[in-house]
Amino acid sequence: MRLLVVEDNPDLANAIAQAFAAHDIRCDWAATAGDAELLVETTDYSALILDLGLPDEDGLSLLKRLRNARITVPVIVVTARGESEMRIKGLDNGADDYVVKPFLFAELHARLNAILRRQSGYVDTLLRTANLTLDQRSREVTIDGKPFELSTREIEVLELLMRRSGHVVPKQVLEDQLFGAGDTLGSNAVEVYVHRLRRKLEELAAVKVQTVRGIGYMLSAA
């Protein structure tokens, strides 16, 4: 999973990124609304963590512009402006949630999970396809209820495919979520991870990982 943290305080942005990294969630950072807008236009993020007090413009203006452009990425506003009027204004302008500083990271993480559950239509932390299960909290993969070992990157690929089981996940989405903006990767990095995952699953899991040439990959029950 890849998030964009839009925050002009580098220490806070780094603290948020490190806390999410402990949950295998990667973060890009934008210190200005202008940088954030460019990143959103070129990268498929799972969600935005948006501060309102940005140096080049108010975060609400950026949020309103994104929504007017029909960019539907979930947005959690994180700000020191805790007045009820500001909360209402933030939600009315397209925020999916509103967290007031100072906050506990556990609350921010829980609110993110709640938004993603609503968006994806699942109600628990388990993803299932045939006899394959992934617990998104513990990052544990099981086949027929027995633990199945995968690398961190392989689990990330699997999660993206299982979230859209039965549907094609574009290669660009995998690249954005696994590596994000600014990360360097070889031209065949995604293919390598998908190949490793497919090879490990094919013996025990009743699933198949298909390559849809020129588009992406799809996981489905075998």
pLDDT of residue 49: 96
Q: Do 40 and 101 belong together in one domain? A: yes
Of the candidates 104, 120, 136, which is a domain's last residue? 120
Domain identity same for 142 and 109: no
Range of the domain at 99: 2-120
How many CB atoms sit inside 10 A of residue 54's CB?
Answer: 22
Q: Provide mean pLDDT across the span 86-112.
A: 89
Of 64, 89, 120, the residue that ends a domain is 120
Asked if residue 180 has pLDDT above 90, the reply is: no
Does residue 92 have a pLDDT over 90?
A: no
pTM exceeding the 0.75 threshold for the entire prediction: no
Residue 170: CATH number of its domain: 1.10.10.10
Picking from 25-34, 121-130, 187-196, which range would have the lowest pLDDT averaged per residue? Answer: 121-130
pLDDT tens-place string over residues 120-177: 654 457 889 999 999 887 889 999 999 999 998 899 899 989 988 999 998 888 887 7
Strands (DSSP E) along the chain, which ranges? 2-6, 26-30, 47-50, 75-79, 97-100, 126-129, 132-135, 140-143, 146-147, 169-170, 207-212, 216-221
SS3 218: strand
Per-residue confidence (pLDDT) for residue 185, from 0 to 100: 55
Domain final position from 63, 93, 120: 120
Q: Do residue 58 and residue 137 come from a single domain?
A: no
Residue 12 belongs to domain with CATH number? 3.40.50.2300
197, pLDDT greater than 90: yes
Residue found by looking up tokens 């490990």 in the block: 200
pLDDT tens, position by position, 49-73: 999 999 999 999 999 999 999 998 9
Q: Tokens 């202008």, residue?
A: 34
The count of structural domains within the chain is 2
201 and 174, same domain (yes or no) = yes
Q: Do residues 32 and 93 share a domain?
A: yes
Worst-scoring range by mean pLDDT, 19-33, 86-100, 114-128?
Answer: 114-128
The H or E element spanning position 10 is helix 10-21
